[in-house]
Amino acid sequence: MKKEGLDLVVQELLERSGSLVNIKLEGHFPGNRLAGGKYSMGSHTITLYIEEIKNQCYQLFSSGEQFWDYFAVVFAHELGHAEDKELEELAERLDLCGTEQERCQIALKIEENAWGFAEKLLPEMDKAFMRKIIYHSLKPYWDQLQLEPA
Protein backbone atom coordinates (compact mmCIF):
# COMPACT_ATOMS: atom_id res chain seq x y z
CA MET A 1 0.00 0.00 0.00
CA LYS A 2 1.33 3.38 -0.91
CA LYS A 3 1.24 5.85 1.96
CA GLU A 4 0.32 8.62 -0.48
CA GLY A 5 -2.83 6.70 -1.43
CA LEU A 6 -3.79 6.23 2.22
CA ASP A 7 -3.18 9.91 2.89
CA LEU A 8 -5.41 10.88 -0.06
CA VAL A 9 -8.31 8.75 1.19
CA VAL A 10 -7.86 10.13 4.71
CA GLN A 11 -7.73 13.73 3.46
CA GLU A 12 -10.80 13.34 1.24
CA LEU A 13 -12.93 11.84 4.03
CA LEU A 14 -11.72 14.38 6.58
CA GLU A 15 -12.74 17.19 4.23
CA ARG A 16 -16.06 15.54 3.43
CA SER A 17 -16.87 15.00 7.12
CA GLY A 18 -15.58 18.35 8.37
CA SER A 19 -13.90 16.48 11.24
CA LEU A 20 -10.90 17.95 13.03
CA VAL A 21 -9.89 14.60 14.56
CA ASN A 22 -6.17 13.66 14.69
CA ILE A 23 -5.14 10.70 12.51
CA LYS A 24 -2.38 8.13 13.03
CA LEU A 25 -1.54 5.37 10.56
CA GLU A 26 0.19 2.32 12.06
CA GLY A 27 1.10 -1.14 10.82
CA HIS A 28 -0.33 -3.54 13.37
CA PHE A 29 -2.83 -3.36 16.21
CA PRO A 30 -0.93 -3.91 19.50
CA GLY A 31 -3.12 -6.73 20.77
CA ASN A 32 -4.75 -10.02 19.94
CA ARG A 33 -7.70 -8.56 18.06
CA LEU A 34 -8.01 -7.95 14.34
CA ALA A 35 -8.91 -4.28 14.92
CA GLY A 36 -8.66 -2.09 11.84
CA GLY A 37 -8.95 1.11 13.78
CA LYS A 38 -9.78 2.74 17.08
CA TYR A 39 -10.92 6.11 18.27
CA SER A 40 -9.59 7.64 21.48
CA MET A 41 -11.92 10.25 23.02
CA GLY A 42 -9.22 11.56 25.36
CA SER A 43 -6.87 12.65 22.59
CA HIS A 44 -9.55 12.95 19.86
CA THR A 45 -7.42 10.63 17.72
CA ILE A 46 -8.23 7.88 15.23
CA THR A 47 -5.53 5.25 14.79
CA LEU A 48 -5.81 3.06 11.69
CA TYR A 49 -3.96 -0.27 11.57
CA ILE A 50 -3.14 -0.88 7.92
CA GLU A 51 -2.07 -4.55 8.14
CA GLU A 52 -5.20 -5.41 10.14
CA ILE A 53 -7.39 -3.63 7.60
CA LYS A 54 -5.68 -5.62 4.83
CA ASN A 55 -6.22 -8.87 6.76
CA GLN A 56 -9.89 -8.07 7.40
CA CYS A 57 -10.39 -7.31 3.71
CA TYR A 58 -8.84 -10.67 2.76
CA GLN A 59 -10.95 -12.52 5.35
CA LEU A 60 -14.23 -10.99 4.17
CA PHE A 61 -13.63 -10.79 0.43
CA SER A 62 -10.88 -13.41 -0.20
CA SER A 63 -8.70 -10.85 -1.93
CA GLY A 64 -7.11 -7.46 -1.54
CA GLU A 65 -8.71 -6.05 -4.70
CA GLN A 66 -11.17 -3.98 -2.70
CA PHE A 67 -8.61 -2.73 -0.16
CA TRP A 68 -9.04 0.97 -0.97
CA ASP A 69 -12.82 0.83 -0.60
CA TYR A 70 -12.48 -1.31 2.52
CA PHE A 71 -9.98 1.16 4.00
CA ALA A 72 -12.39 4.04 3.26
CA VAL A 73 -15.26 2.19 4.98
CA VAL A 74 -13.19 1.43 8.10
CA PHE A 75 -11.98 5.03 8.29
CA ALA A 76 -15.51 6.39 7.77
CA HIS A 77 -16.68 4.16 10.65
CA GLU A 78 -13.96 5.52 12.94
CA LEU A 79 -14.91 9.06 11.89
CA GLY A 80 -18.41 8.07 12.97
CA HIS A 81 -17.12 7.46 16.49
CA ALA A 82 -15.14 10.71 16.47
CA GLU A 83 -18.17 12.76 15.40
CA ASP A 84 -20.81 10.93 17.49
CA LYS A 85 -22.52 13.52 19.71
CA GLU A 86 -23.84 10.68 21.91
CA LEU A 87 -20.50 8.92 22.39
CA GLU A 88 -19.46 10.57 25.64
CA GLU A 89 -22.79 9.84 27.31
CA LEU A 90 -22.88 6.28 25.94
CA ALA A 91 -19.30 5.67 27.16
CA GLU A 92 -20.27 6.90 30.64
CA ARG A 93 -23.30 4.59 30.64
CA LEU A 94 -21.05 1.75 29.49
CA ASP A 95 -18.79 2.33 32.52
CA LEU A 96 -21.79 2.18 34.87
CA CYS A 97 -23.43 -0.94 33.43
CA GLY A 98 -24.75 -3.45 35.90
CA THR A 99 -25.16 -6.39 33.53
CA GLU A 100 -23.30 -7.85 30.58
CA GLN A 101 -26.57 -7.66 28.59
CA GLU A 102 -26.87 -3.90 29.21
CA ARG A 103 -23.19 -3.43 28.40
CA CYS A 104 -23.58 -5.22 25.08
CA GLN A 105 -26.71 -3.19 24.18
CA ILE A 106 -24.85 0.09 24.74
CA ALA A 107 -21.78 -1.16 22.85
CA LEU A 108 -24.08 -2.12 19.95
CA LYS A 109 -25.64 1.37 19.96
CA ILE A 110 -22.15 2.94 19.84
CA GLU A 111 -21.25 0.78 16.83
CA GLU A 112 -24.58 1.39 15.07
CA ASN A 113 -24.14 5.15 15.46
CA ALA A 114 -20.68 4.97 13.86
CA TRP A 115 -21.94 2.81 10.99
CA GLY A 116 -24.85 5.19 10.36
CA PHE A 117 -22.37 8.05 10.02
CA ALA A 118 -20.15 5.98 7.69
CA GLU A 119 -23.07 5.16 5.40
CA LYS A 120 -23.99 8.85 5.11
CA LEU A 121 -20.35 9.81 4.50
CA LEU A 122 -19.95 7.25 1.68
CA PRO A 123 -23.22 7.43 -0.31
CA GLU A 124 -21.41 6.34 -3.50
CA MET A 125 -20.05 3.13 -1.90
CA ASP A 126 -21.47 -0.16 -3.20
CA LYS A 127 -24.37 -0.93 -0.82
CA ALA A 128 -23.88 -4.72 -0.81
CA PHE A 129 -20.16 -4.30 -0.10
CA MET A 130 -20.85 -1.95 2.80
CA ARG A 131 -23.71 -4.07 4.21
CA LYS A 132 -21.43 -7.12 4.29
CA ILE A 133 -18.79 -5.22 6.30
CA ILE A 134 -21.40 -3.79 8.69
CA TYR A 135 -23.07 -7.18 9.12
CA HIS A 136 -19.79 -8.85 10.12
CA SER A 137 -18.91 -5.97 12.43
CA LEU A 138 -22.24 -6.08 14.29
CA LYS A 139 -22.82 -9.84 14.25
CA PRO A 140 -20.92 -10.53 17.53
CA TYR A 141 -23.19 -8.03 19.34
CA TRP A 142 -26.36 -9.50 17.80
CA ASP A 143 -25.19 -13.01 18.70
CA GLN A 144 -24.48 -12.02 22.29
CA LEU A 145 -27.87 -10.31 22.59
CA GLN A 146 -29.53 -13.15 20.65
CA LEU A 147 -30.93 -10.66 18.12
CA GLU A 148 -31.63 -11.07 14.44
CA PRO A 149 -29.95 -8.52 12.17
CA ALA A 150 -32.19 -5.60 11.26
Question: Residue 1: pLDDT above 70?
Answer: no
Tell me what pLDDT residue 134 has: 97
Checking if the pLDDT of 148 tops 80, the result is no
- pLDDT tens for residues 32-73? 777 899 999 999 999 999 999 999 999 999 999 999 999 999
* DSSP H or E run through 3: helix 3-17
DSSP per-residue codes, 55-68 = HHHHHHHSSSTTHH
Give pTM, 2 decimals: 0.93
Is the predicted pLDDT of residue 4 greater than 90, yes or no? no
What pLDDT, in 10s, does the model give residues 11-30?
999 999 999 999 999 998 88
- Buried b / exposed e along 78-115 (16+ C-beta atoms within 10 A): bbbbbbbeebeeeeebbeeeeeeeebbbbbbbbbbbbb
- Mean pLDDT confidence for 120-127: 97
Integer Cα distance of 31 and 13 in angstroms = 27
Residue 132's pLDDT is: 97
